[in-house]
Amino acid sequence: MIARRRDDEIDRIDRACRVVRTILDELAEMARVGTTTAELDRHAEARCEDFGARPAFKGYMGYPAALCVSVNEQVVHGIPGPRRLESGDLVSIDFGVLLDGYYGDSAITCLVGEASEADRELSRVTRECLMRAVEQVRPGRRIGDIGRAVEEHATAHGYGVVREFVGHGIGTRMHEEPQIPNYRTNRTTPRIEAGNVLAIEPMITAGRPEVRVLADGWTAVTRDGSKAAHWELVVAATPEGPRVLGDPVAAGCGEERNRA
Ligand code: MF3
Ligand code: CO
C-alpha cells in the first residue's frame, strides 16, 4: 500500500523539505576548495537545531552522520570526515530531516573549483533525469514510468544507471512503500494516485553502473572508478499534476553549482 496523504499532511512534508532545501543551499555555498566534508556535516547538524528539526540519517541503521557526502567515484552514503574538497571534485550531498513528525529528504550535486565539462554534463543530465521523472508523478501513471524516464535519458547520453539503490515513498517514515527503481522493469508496477508522496533519486555514473560498498560498510563507489552524480527531490502527486515539495526553485536548487 502506498500511503495517500491529505493536503495538510503534504504541507507538513513540504515544511520538512523546506528545511532540507534551505540547509542544502547553504552547504552548496560551503562546498568549496579546502572545506572538509565533516565541516559540512557539522553545519547541517547545527542548523537542524535552529529549525527544531532532527537529522534523519544519523543513527538510521547505525549511520554515523547527519549528511551523506559522496565525492567523485563515491555514488552515495559517503561518510563525512577530514577529507578536504579539491578543485575538480564532484560532490553529492544527501540530507534528510524529521520535522513535526514528517520527513524531508533531498540530494544535490556540487562542482568544486574548476570543473571539467564532462562532470558538468554528468550532473546536468542527472538533474534532467530527475526532472523528467518528476513529470511522471501524476495520478494514472505508474511507478515504473519514473524509472523508464530516468533510464531513457541517462542511456541516451551513454551513462550508467545505478540499480542497487532506489527512490522511495516518504512521509511519517523516511522510507515507505513503494521502492522506486531508476530503471525499466518488466513487472507491472502500482498506479500513482493523488496523495502519493515520492522521493525520487537517480544515481547516474559516467561509466559502468556497477557499485561496491567500501569496508566502512556504507560508502558505495563505482567499480570502474568512474564519477557519479545524485539528485533527489520529494514530489506529491496531485490532481493538478506533480507538486515538488520544499520549494526548490525559490531556493536556487537545480542550478549547476560551480564554486571556487
Ligand atoms: N537519501 C538516502 C535514502 O533515501 C539517505 C539514506 S542514508 C542513511 O536512502 F544513511 F540514512 F542510511
Ligand atoms: Co532518499
Q: Is the CB of 51 under 6 A from ligand 1?
A: no
146 part of a folded domain: yes
Q: Which of 130, 131, 86, 133 is nearest to 110 (CA)?
A: 86
* pLDDT given for residue 249 in this prediction: 62
Q: Is the CB of 94 under 6 A from ligand 1?
A: yes
Residue bearing the CA closest to ligand 1, atom 6: 57
33 part of a folded domain: yes
pLDDT one-digit tens code per residue, 196-213: 999 999 999 999 999 999
Please identify, by atom number, the ligand 1 atom nearest to the C-alpha of residue 61. 12
Q: For residue 146, give the amino acid letter.
A: I
pLDDT one-digit tens code per residue, 25-73: 999 999 999 999 999 999 999 999 999 999 999 999 999 999 999 999 9
pLDDT band of 248, cuts 50, 70, 90 = low
49 part of a folded domain: yes
1 part of a folded domain: no
* pLDDT given for residue 247 in this prediction: 76
Q: What's the total number of domains in the chain?
A: 1
Testing ligand 1's pocket by substitution, the residue of 54, 58, 63 carrying the most ligand atoms inside 8 A of its CB is 63
2 part of a folded domain: no
Specify which residues 102 forms β-bridges with: 99
Average pLDDT of the residues in 136-163: 98
C-alpha cell read off for 171: 512521509
**In angstroms, what is the span from residue 187 Cα to ligand 1's centroid?**
25
247 part of a folded domain: yes
Q: Which of 195, 252, 248 is nearest to 11 (CA)?
A: 195
**In angstroms, what is the span from residue 57 Cα to ligand 1's centroid?**
6
- Which regions of 188-239 does DSSP assign to beta strands (E)? 197-200, 203-205, 211-213, 220-222, 228-230, 233-238
237 part of a folded domain: yes
* pLDDT given for residue 217 in this prediction: 98
53 part of a folded domain: yes
More confident site: 249 or 96: 96
CATH number at residue 217: 3.90.230.10
pLDDT one-digit tens code per residue, 219-246: 999 999 999 999 999 999 999 999 999 9
Domain limits at 225?
7-259
- Give the list of residues 6+ apart from residue 12 with CB closer than 8 angstroms, or none: 99, 100, 101, 102
